[in-house]
Structure 1
Amino acid sequence: MNEVGRRKKQVTIVALVTALCLLGDSMLYITLPIFYEQVGLQSLWEVGLLLSINRFVRIPMNPLVGFMYRKFQLKTGLYIAVVLAVITTVGYGIGTGLFIWVLLRLLWGIAWSFLRLGGFFTILHASTDRNRGENMGRYNGLYRLGSLGGMIGGGVLVSMIGFQPTVIAFGLSMVIGIPLVYKGITKNPSQNLVVTPEITPKKKVFFGLTCKAITTITSGMILAFLIQGMFNSSISLVMVMHFGEEISLYRWTIGITALAGTLQGVRWLWEPYLAVRLGRVSDGEQGRLPLFLLALVVSAMGFVFIPIPLPLAIWLGMILFVMAASTTLTTLVDALTSDEAQGQDANRLMTIYSVFLDLGAAMGPLVSYFLFSIGGTVVHVFNGAAVVFMMLFVYWSAIYFQTKKEQHKASINV
């Protein structure tokens, strides 16, 4: 196997290890609201707390994990992540009471920080300008298979063997991640993986980052807020508003929550293929921005139509287009940020990026439901989001045309 193939294999292995570790966490989103009394919880607000607290702990933990990755090998961090994932997931099956579960969810948040930053650093090490988007798409697409397996497989297994046996089985299966890391990840020191030559001082703007880097980080936070936070947390609410709590398809009656989960599952099914293809296209001569700008426009239009009552088939088709645009945006903003990591302190940049991604994703549901609680309608919230998408489009269009202008001048000078 040549060097390019070997590095691509490392990205695949880290993505699959991450997918394994996601099984238990993803399963909780569909099972814990139903079986919370079995684990000693008293009310649904405790469920909401537990499903969100892991995001908030990552905000202060990401800088610490990034610092730790400077000091030891990448595979050491992945070992820590797998061990924590095993402990927390098995703990879901034997721990009871709110206090124990808060500790377990905090530990899972730390595990995810190691996994996510480890994935970013692996991609930086494994990629060049010709395949960085493809590798980012491969990583994002493959690790989401863990979410798919956790939700669908978890839901089926819980109905067959119960909640506790299922999460314990998931937790024990994650042990497979240890030999995968041992065999598949080289012993490159993390310092060599994540730190590249510093940029010139005159280009530094904030925390040693360039203006362009700050732009990509901010855009990533906004997109995480809109897609991972607002859209994912409120789409079932919109569906209930349009179609009621149940819909009839031919002779079948389907609950809206089940349909919303199926839609999310469809996205995770296509991501291993679509994200890789999108990343590969963005590595080409035209670059990432044309596709990124198109996805922003599609998202803006989709968010305008989401609150509008339409026939079910048309509305679902439109949602699938929005979700495809979301795959495009998340893949490309990750790749754009990774591009900016070349030539400066990549550890610092990707750590800060992870912090702001988690902040955006955590704030999305809170802000959305706060607006709903003070009288905001779905139309107001989603139309406001569409305006934000268009603001990003205008800003990135200016960057695109400025870049084209500079490239044209450089070609003339040559």
Structure 2
Amino acid sequence: MSDKRKVIGIALITAVAILGDAMLFIVLPLYWQDFGLTAIWQVGVLLSINRFVRLPITPLVGLFYSKFDIRTGVLISVICASLSTLSYGLLPSFWLLLLARVLWGISWSLIKLGGMLTVVALSTEVNRGHYMGLYNGLWGLGGLVGMLAGGFLVDQLSIPLVTTLFSFAAVVVFPFIFKLVPKNSKKAEDESTARSHFPEKDKRSLLHPYIILVIITGGTMGFITMGIFASTLSPLIEQSYDAHWSLFGIVIGAATLAGMIQAIRWAWDPLFAPMIGSFVDKSRNKNSWILVPLLLGGVTFLIIGRAESFLLLLITIMFFQLVSTSLVTITDTLAGDAAARSNPIKMMTLYTVAVDLGAAIGPLVSFIIIDLYGLSAVFYLSSMVMILVSITWIVFNFYTNQRVRHKNIINNKNDIL
């Protein structure tokens, strides 16, 4: 089986694993009493606890992958995903559901880090961006299917039946894990080293400025796309949406419109993300391309913060969704390159923690700022963050190019002598 098919396989395994989590984001806020909850605040706790659990768990998962098989980690992850999804419909109690969400947090850390390590192991300098885009785009389909199909099926059937179906889907992928996932992390690390084409002298420590900057960019990406934007999209639309659009006689509210916008992003990611990744792969200087989504994102957020026309706001939001796809794909590609130049497991662990940390503190920061200064201030601050990170990349690239130029001059002089 080709490496590309293996990447597609691990992406689809990840997609199946997140079906229950995606479904819960749509169903729980509407049917929270059917889940045995007694207060609306419990909905927020259940939907966010898995992210906070990942912060201390991910380093332990990285340690796990340094000692045990990647395949074993993915198997455990799918088992945990199946059990947690089944629990959503069969455990009508806040505290039991809380444990199920903690279990899902552990499951996601295992499968996401295992998936990223698999992509790093199977890719090279010439296809890493394409593979990263393919992986991200395809596993995102699980979120799309979970939200749309999950919500529809719950309306037609029942919560226990739907969660059982999604849980069974996770069990079905078990045989494919043995065929698609590398048997052990040492092999993955060796394959990554062999495929990287970097001589030993070009290997970098985790304290190298390039690796630190990639990790910071990953945290920024999580903070902006998964934290700030995801948590403020609904109130942003509600603030400007005074029209009464309808579809087949059904009035489309702000929440529905926000969900449709997110669904569109998940639907186009399998097409655009690999294309963006392939384009970056062909570039001689991948570092420069991270400036494009960072600067475009910064400008877009400035427009969003000042937009008064709802049509302009909607167009700008959709444009940012495309920018967001680029930001995630390029940042993950740079992280994959950094992993190939250093210790893959340690690098991807640090990177994943940074992304999760940004995603976790994003909603907290956004609503504190909204409470103090208003919604527009959130986007102004986020714009400044992206522009600041892009300036840091510009400075880094400048000094790197200067160093290379200086080194070439010295080598030329030595050749003459």
TM-score by length of 1: 0.92
Superposition deviation, residue 252 in structure 1: 5.9
Matched, 1:25 2:17: no
Structure 2: which amino acid aligns with 1:148? L
State the identity as a percent: 35
* 3-state DSSP of counterpart to 2:306: coil
Write the distance in 1 (CA, Å) between the matches of 2:364 and 2:210. Answer: 29
Quick one: distance in 2 between partners of 1:406 and 1:131? Answer: 27
Contact 1:86-1:175 at 8 Å conserved across structures: yes
1:134 and 1:67 map into 2 onto residues whose CA distance is 28
**Deviation >4 Å, runs of 4+:** 195-204, 249-252, 406-414
Asked whether the 8 Å contact 2:203–2:342 carries over to 1, the reply is no
Matches within 5 A, 1:31-180: 31-180=27-176
Please show how residues 240-319 of structure 1 align to structure 2 within 5 Å: 240-244=238-242, 247-248=244-245, 253-319=251-317
Deviations 1:149-189 (A, max 9, x none): 011111111111022211111111111220111232343x2
Could you tell me whether the CA contact under 8 Å between 1:247 and 1:256 is conserved in 2?
A: no
Task: Return the alpha-carbon distance in structure 2 between the equivalents of residues 333 and 202 of structure 1.
Answer: 19
Q: Is the 8 A contact 2:118 2:181 kept in 1?
A: no
Residue 94 of structure 1 aligns with an amino acid whose one-letter code is: L
Mapped to 1, the partners of 2:36 and 2:70 lie a distance apart of 37
Deviation digits for residues 37-61 of structure 1 (CA, Å, limit 9, x no counterpart):
1111111111100101001111111
Q: Count the aligned residue pairs.
A: 404
Amino acid corresponding to residue 297 of structure 2 in structure 1: S
SS at 1:34 equivalent: coil
Counterpart pick for 1:337 among 335, 338, 343: 335
Of residues 185, 188, 195, the one that matches 1:193 is: 188
Distance 1:134 1:21, change over 3 A: same
After superposition, where does 1:366-385 map in structure 2 within 5 Å? 366-373=364-371, 375-385=372-382
Which residue of 1 is the match for residue 196 of structure 2? none
Offset at residue 376 of structure 1 (A): 1.6
Structure 2, gaps ≥5 residues long: 194-198, 413-417
Farther off after superposition, 255-264 or 331-340 = 331-340
Pick aligned residue for 2:219 from 198, 218, 221: 221
Task: Check the 8 A contact 1:69/1:77 in 2, yes or no.
Answer: yes
| Alignment equivalent of 1:390, drawn from 366, 387, 391 | 387
Q: Is the 8 A contact 1:209 1:344 kept in 2?
A: no
Any conservation in 1 of the 2:8–2:138 contact (CA below 8 Å)? yes
SS of alignment partner, residue 334 of structure 1: helix
CA distance in 1, matches of 2:239, 2:167: 37
Deviation of residue 406 (structure 1)? 4.2
Moved more, 215-224 or 17-26: 215-224
The corresponding residue for 2:396 is 399
* TM-score under structure 2 length normalisation: 0.92
**Does the residue aligned with 2:153 lie in a helix, a strand or coil?**
helix
CA contact (8 A) 2:35 2:91 kept: yes
Q: What is the rounded CA distance, in whole Å, between the counterparts of 2:220 and 2:234 in structure 1?
A: 21
Aligned to 1:10: 6
Q: Is the 8 A contact 1:230 1:364 kept in 2?
A: yes
Matched with 1:359 is 357
Q: Provide Cα deviations, 1:61-91, integer angstroms capped at 9, x if missing partner.
A: 1111111112222111111011111100011
Report the secondary structure of 2:244's partner residue.
Answer: strand
